[in-house]
Amino acid sequence: MADNDSRAGARYATPEILTYTQKIHAAHDAALAQAFAVPDGIPAIQVGPSEGRLLYLLMKLVGAKKVVEVGTLVGYSAIQMGRALPADGHVWSIEFEQKHADVARKNIAAAGLAERVTVHVGAGRDVLPTLDKHGPFDAVFIDADKINYDHYGRWAVEHVRKGGLILGDNAYLFGELLEDSDRGRAMRSFHEQIAAACESVCAPTPDGLVIGIKK
């Protein structure tokens, strides 16, 4: 159930409640803890523990075997999704920064997923066309440069199978979604594309997560 306050955006989560629920539902083992502990010099912009666990569960629910991730950072979300796949499944993850990709590969190997997760280095717009041959995909998770979300959304709609998942993090754009800016327009275009091509919702995670099932 909800009430008028929560429907209007009020949240009852406190740091203590979040700590408790993460401990119960989304606890880290050593490999996840290593990947979550972003080294100095790299921004700590990975998804949170509960969002990471949600990615794992969504991959399980859709029976994902072939997944594309746009935005690796240091591999935390790739590990969460990779663990949800069967032994013959694969995650193709794209990271723009070589330094981040190097750390991600170490974390992925430490999690025992080096054969199941491939990290490609480069701009998403350049790398995605090289992955076309592996499709159609069961899921695409987008958590990268916001100015290109509309492009990534179009690619995902084209290359995800019917019934597959399209996910986009930071869907509230840090509170800037409705602003008259290039990033705002790109993110609104992403929302509208996914709504048109999928059964979809924007889940009210801390910065919004678009979840779409392709029609």
pLDDT tens per residue, range 14-36:
999 999 999 999 999 999 999 99
Q: Give the residues across from 69 on adjacent strands.
A: 93, 141
Instruction: For residue 1, name the pLDDT band (cuts at 50, 70, 90).
Output: low
Please report, for the chain, the start and end positions of each structural domain, with discontinuous segments joined by +: 13-39+46-214
Q: What is the pLDDT of residue 96?
A: 97
Q: Under a CB-based contact definition with an 8 Å cutoff, are residues 209 and 168 in contact?
A: yes
Number of H helices, E strands in the chain: 9, 7
pLDDT band per the 50, 70, 90 thresholds, residue 103: very high
What's the start-to-end Cα distance of the chain, in Å?
Answer: 29
CATH assignment of 13-39+46-214, among 3.40.50.150, 3.40.50.620, 3.20.20.210, 1.20.1050.10: 3.40.50.150
Q: pLDDT per residue over 35-85, tens digit each?
A: 999 998 999 999 999 999 999 999 999 999 999 999 999 999 999 999 999
Distance (Å, rounded) from C-alpha 58 to C-alpha 209?
12
* Average pLDDT of the residues in 148-156: 97
Q: Predicted confidence band at 11 (pLDDT cuts at 50, 70, 90)?
A: confident
The yes-or-no verdict on residue 107 having pLDDT over 90 is: yes
